[in-house]
Structure 1
C-alpha cells in the first residue's frame, strides 16, 4: 500500500520530468517537498534582490539629498565667508582711511606747533627790545608738548603721544573684547573718534596760544606807541622836535599786497615799527640834556631877567644856578661830546658839551674839571666839582642850555626829564 506524500496538508503525486535529446532520454522525479524548497529559495532570492535594489535606489536618493544639503551648507558658508571678508575689507579700508586722516591731522598739528615755536623764536629778540629791565621776564605763550599728557574721553584715557605715532595703533585687548563681530559696537567710541576729539582739543589749545600771542603782540605794540608818544610830547614841550631826529634811516623791502601778509606777521611788523620808533625817541631823549646836573640841589636863580648879584641892577641871566657845597659832583645832563674844558672868563672853570642837533650845555664856576676836550660822556657822567671860580659870589653851579648858540630856558628840559625819566 503506497502512502502518498502531502505538502501543506494536501497529498500530491510526485512529478516526473522527462528530457529527450536525440536518442537519449533522461527523466527526473521531483518530489513535492523539493519543489516547495526550490520555490521558497527562489522567493527568498527574488525578495533579496528586490530589497537590494530598493536599498540601492533609496541610498542613491539619500546620498543625493545629503550631497545637495552639504552643497547648500558649503554655499552658505562660502557666502558667509564672503560677507565677513567684505566686512573685514571695509573695516580695514576704514582703518587705513582713519590712519591716513590721522597722519594728515598729526602733520598739520606738528606743522602748526612748529610755526608757533618759530613765531616764539621771532618774538624773543623783539621782546628783549621791549623790556625796560633786561632781568624782568615777559611771559609769552608758547607751545610746550608734554609726553605724559592725556585727555579723558567718556572714561577712556587717550595718550597724547599718538601725535608722534607714525602708524595706526591697534586696538587694546579690552577694546577688542568689547567689539561685536564683524561690526563694532556703535555705543563704544572708536579710536578714530577719540583721536578726532583729541585733535580738536589740541587744535583749540594751539589756536588759543596763537590768539594769545597775537593779543600779547598787540598789547606790546600799543604800549610802545604810548611810551613813544609820551616821550615825543615831553621833548616837544622842551622845544625838541623828534621828527627831525629820526625816520630818515635807510629802509626797504619787497612790496607785498595786504592779503599776502598774515595777521601775526602784520602785528609783528607793527610791533617792530613801534619799537623802532621808541628806540629812536629814547636815543634822542638820551642825547637831549634833560637830566638834572646837580640832583637834589636847590635852585637859587632862574633863567631870565634878574637883579645882578654883583652890580645890583637888572640883567639877563642865561642859565640856572644850583646851590651846592664845594666839591659836590656835577653830572652831564645828556650824552654828548666835550667841546670845551677850561677857564672861560666870567664862567671861571667851565665845561661845554655838544649833544647834537644844535644843542649844547655849559657847566660853569667849577672848582675842578674831570673831563677833557673830545671826551664822550653819557647821561649822569661826572664831569667836575662844584666851586666858585670866575664871576661868582659863592660855591654854586651855573648851568646853561643853548640851541644853535642861543641860550634857552633849561627848566623846560629838566621838567621833560622828570616826565620821561621812568620811560627811558
Structure 2
C-alpha cells in the first residue's frame, strides 16, 4: 500500500537506457544517461549548424566577391572615364592656349612691324622736319602725345621679341587687376565675366592700333601743313622770279632727249610714304628756288645810299640831249665798297668805253649785272663771286660827272630796269630769311 501510494505521488521512476555490445563471448554494456543524450544532441546540432553555416558562407562568399569585384570595376571605369574627361579638357585648354598664343604672337609681330615702320618713318620725318625748320616753315601747334602701350624697345636697346615665349606674352596680356565680375544682378544669377587671353589681346591691340592710327593722322596733318607751306612759298618765289623775267623752267623746245631701258613701274606706297615723298619734293623745290633767288641779283649794290639817276630816257649830262640811261646811279664817295648783288662768275673786269673801270658778272638764266665808273677793280675775269662780295671801289672813271655807283641789270644782253629786281628782292626777303 505504501509503495502504491508513493507512486501515485511521485510517479514511476524512469528507467535508464542500457547499450549492450556483444562480441563473441565478450559482452559489454554501457548505461546511457540522459545528460549524455542531451550532450550528443547538442553536439550534433552544433555540427549541423556549423556545416550549414560553412556551406552558406561558401555559397554567399562567391556572390560577395563578385559584387566587390564588380563594384571595384565600376569604380575603376568611373575613374578612368573621369581621367579621360579631364585629359580631354586639358587637351582642349592646351589647344586653346596654343591657338591664343599663336594669335597673340601674330598680332605682336604685326605691331612690331608697325613699330619698325614708325621708327623708319620717324627717321625720314625727322630729317624732313629739320629741313622744314631750316626753311623757316612752321607746321603749327605740336600734336599731343599719344599713349601707346608698351611695345617699345627694352632698356638695353633691343626690341621686344614677338616669339619670346608664353611668359612674355602672358606678361603682355596680364592686367593690373583680376578679371572683373558682373554687377550685383549678374552675381546673384551665379554667372561671372571672365576675359580670356584672346579677348584681352584683342582689346589691347585694338587700343594700340587706334593709338597708332591717331598718331599717323596727326603726323599726316603736320606733313600736309608743311607740304602746303613749302609749295606756297616756292610758288610765291617762282611768281616773283617770273615777274622779274626769270623763268626757272627750261623752254620745251630746248629740252634734251629722253630714253633708257624698260623697268617695271614702281607702285605707289602707302599714304604716309606718299605724303613724305610729297613733302620731300616740296622742300626740294623750295630749296632750289630759294638757292636760285639768292644767286640772282636781287640785292642792293650800295645799301643805304640814295638813287641819283633812274633807269630810262634822260637828258645826257654831256650832250644835253635825250639819251637812254641803261641803269641806275647810287650816290657814293670815292673808295666806298661796291658789292655784288648776286652770285655768279666775272665775265668782264677792266676799262670798257664810257663805263671806265667796269665789272660784269654773269648770274645765269641770261641775267648779268654791270658796275661802272669804279675807281678800283678787286676781281678778275673767271672769279666766282658770292652775293655781297666786294668787287671794287666807287669812283668817277669814264663818262662820269662825279663819284657814284652805276649799276645795270641785263637780261639776254638787253638792259632792264634794276628797280624791278630791287623791288623783287624786298619781296623775296620774307621767303629767303
Whether these two folds match at TM > 0.5 is yes
1:183-203 residue CA offsets vs partner (Å, 9 max, x unmatched) = xx9524344433332222222
Partner of 2:265: 256
CA RMSD of aligned residues (A): 4.0
TM-score, normalised relative to structure 1: 0.79
- SS of the aligned residue for 2:249 comes to helix
**Matching of residue 240 in structure 1 with residue 246 in structure 2:** yes
Q: CA deviation at 1:359?
A: 1.7
What residue is the counterpart of 1:217 in the other structure?
Answer: 223
> Residue by residue, what CA displacement relative to the aligned partner does 1:9-59 show, whole Å, maximum 9, x if unpaired?
995433344567789876654333212210111112222333344445555
Give yes or no for contact 1:330–1:386 (8 Å, CA) kept in 2.
yes
- Structure 2: which 5+ residue stretches go unaligned? 4-10, 153-158, 182-190
Q: What are the residue-to-residue correspondences of 1:326-345 with 2, within 5 Å?
A: 326-345=334-353
SS at match of 1:270: helix
Distance 1:251 1:88, change over 3 A: farther
Secondary structure of the corresponding residue to residue 415 of structure 1: helix
CA contact (8 A) 1:365 1:387 kept: yes
Identify if the C-alpha distance between structure 1 residues 268 and 177 changes in structure 2 by more than 3 Å, giving closer, same or farther: closer
1:403 correspondence with 2:411: yes
Pairing of 1:68-147 with structure 2 (within 5 A): 68-132=70-134
- Separation (CA, whole Å) in 1 of partners of 2:401 and 2:178: 103
- Whether the 8 Å contact between 1:322 and 1:397 is mirrored in structure 2 is yes
Give ranges in structure 1 of 5+ residues lacking alignment. Answer: 2-8, 150-160, 180-184
Corresponding residue for residue 47 of structure 1? 49
The count of aligned residue pairs is 400
Counterpart in the other structure of 2:310 = 302
Shift of 1:261: 3.4
Per-residue CA shift, 1:185-237, capped at 9, x if unaligned?
Answer: 95243444333322222222223333334333333332222122111110111
- For 1:64-112, what per-residue CA distance to the aligned partner results, in whole angstroms no more than 9, with x for missing partners? 4444444333333332222222222211111111111111111111112
TM-score normalised by structure 2 residue count: 0.78
Q: C-alpha deviations, 1:378-420, integer Å up to 9, x for none? A: 2222212222222223322111011222211111112222222
Matches within 5 A, 1:167-206: 167-169=165-167, 187-206=193-212
Structure 2 residue aligned with 1:271: 279
1:373 aligned residue = 381
**Matched-pair contact (CA < 8 Å) for 2:247–2:365:** no
After superposition, the Cα gap between the structure-2 partners of 1:11 and 1:118, relative to the gap in structure 1 and judged at 3 Å, is farther
Q: Measured at CA, do residues 234 and 323 of structure 1 come closer, stay the same or move farther in structure 2, by a change above 3 Å?
A: same
TM-superposed deviation, 1:240: 1.5
* Paired residue secondary structure (2:369): strand
Higher alpha-carbon deviation: 357-366 or 230-239: 357-366
